[in-house]
Amino acid sequence: MINKPSLPQGTRDFNAAVIRKRNFIFSTIKNIFEIYGFQPLETPAMENFETLMGKYGEEGDRLIFKILNNGLSNEKNIEKTKAGFEKLLEGKNSTDITERALKYDLTIPFARYVAMNHTKLTFPFKRYQIQPVWRADRPQKGRYREFTQCDADVVGSKSLYNETELANIYHQVFCELRITNYELRINSRKILAALAEACGGNEKMVDITVAIDKLDKIGIDKVKIELEERGLTTIQIETIEKFLNITGSNQQKILALHEMFGKNKLAAEGMQELAFVQNHAIPETNLVFDFTLARGLNYYTGVIFEVKAPAEIKMGSIGGGGRYDDLTGLFGVNDIPGVGISFGVDRIYDVMEELNLFPEDLQIGPKAIFFNMGQKEVDFAFNIMQNLRNHGIACEIILEEMKIAKQFSLAEKKNIAYAIIIGEKEIEQNYCQVKNLATGEQHVVVLENLVEFLGKMP
């Protein structure tokens, strides 16, 4: 009994039409990365499990796709396998069962790469990376188990100009994709740290940020309840509420924050960072200071970014990133600060599809197709076709005999621009009919001139 074939949950096949649209996004992003001086890097689909473990928080670890070791049932491994499995059942991980995992993002593998190669790299080192990543998350709208990230990171530079450049990359990419009303939210972890300090200490930072990050979604009252559940006192919650009530323009927000934190050093630094980015960057309609922005990943230390899709689309963030002081420290190489951003191509695709933003001329097939007017004619046309191909003109020939009407609809489905008809008469008199399939216009072209003719036609 043969089962119906299917795909693993959350994965997709991409047909030609989809790939052309995806490539449009990829090439737009890639070009701009290159213009800003970033160089490409690719890393393996899988990493050693230990490389990824513990880098994304508890929730993140749960979502890493683990790869089962080979040879588990091999006699000499069987004791180890059993012991390892016992550990798994206790909720622990065991390298006796899994030594490798699919990569979860591009940042940690990049940090691993930098740590491994830091003696050979020239700093500041700028790389971009466009590759699929995998997460064992439950799929839903805009969420896939296999999706592609486009990252750009600079390591070995503390300059805030990097943040500014990255903000401008976001702006330039989204303008080119015509997602003009995207929103780039930025915050600084230092401001959040200052808030945590004002609320009884750094160890409260995670609790506070996780809760206030949800303000948009669940509202102030529920945030307060969550803060209470997380052990914050009433006075501390009042402070946080005051913090969350800061609204207005970016300028007004800074003023209010200034008033609230006074001379607090961390807060002042954070505000300075945000102001710096704003002064060198993009329109305020796109750049929004958002002090509630936290971002889950623990390794961020300075400015953090998150890109929101246009408000009319219900979609999570379509990009994110931030500054990390010591990412490679996780791999034993200290003092390499960095900052990076990421584009979520799959979500950008969904947004563009919904807003109908893809250019119409992306769907191009071969330029010409030779109709089948009989076996002898095919034989003749084949050589003409090869000559076109040798001149770089994409074309094909219909090898099966079929009715003319069908040949036309076939050509149309393949998005082919021109039909070339060579029948008995044409062979005798050394010409062909070239029909523009979009307009219906038909030309008589002498065979010697066909390359030149098609070369000139759009």
Report, in Å, the least distance between residue 296 CB and RNA: 1
Tokens for 179, please give them: 């997602």
Q: Does 235 bind RNA (CB under 7 A)?
A: no
Q: Does 365 bind RNA (CB under 7 A)?
A: no
Q: Which of 438, 443, 446, 452 binds RNA (CB under 7 A)?
A: 438
Give residue 52's Cα distance to chain centre. Answer: 19
Q: Which CB sits closer to RNA, 118 or 230? A: 230
Helix, strand, coil % (nearest 5) of the chain? 45, 20, 35
Q: Which CB sits closer to RNA, 263 or 314? A: 314
- Burial code (b: 16+ CB inside 10 Å, e: under 16) for 226-256 equals bbeeeebeeebbebbeebbebeeebeebbeb
Q: Does 415 bind RNA (CB under 7 A)?
A: no
List, in order, residues 6 or more apart from 400 with CB less than 8 Å away: 372
Report, in Å, the least distance between residue 198 CB and RNA: 22
Q: Does 149 bind RNA (CB under 7 A)?
A: yes
Q: Which of 22, 241, 423, 451 binds RNA (CB under 7 A)?
A: 423
Residue spans of alpha helices (H) in 104-233: 107-117, 161-176, 189-198, 205-212, 215-229
Q: Does 322 bind RNA (CB under 7 A)?
A: no
Q: Does 137 bind RNA (CB under 7 A)?
A: yes
8 A C-beta contact, residue 327 and residue 334: no
List, in order, residues 6 or more apart from 104 with CB less than 8 Å away: 52, 55, 56, 60, 63, 64, 65, 133, 134, 135
Q: Does 116 bind RNA (CB under 7 A)?
A: no
Quick note: the x/- pattern for RNA over 28-67, rule CB under 7 A, is -----------------------------x-xx--x----
Q: Does 91 bind RNA (CB under 7 A)?
A: no
- Total residues in contact with RNA, by rule CB under 7 A: 66
Report, in Å, the least distance between residue 440 CB and RNA: 4
Secondary structure (DSSP) of 385-437: HHHHHHTT--EEE--S---HHHHHHHHHHTT-SEEEE--HHHHHHTEEEEEET
Contact residues: RNA, CB under 7 A: 3-4, 6-7, 9-10, 57, 59-60, 63, 105, 135, 137-145, 147, 149, 210, 213-214, 217-218, 295-297, 307, 314, 316-320, 342, 344, 346-347, 373, 402-406, 408-409, 411-412, 419, 421, 423-426, 433, 435-440, 442
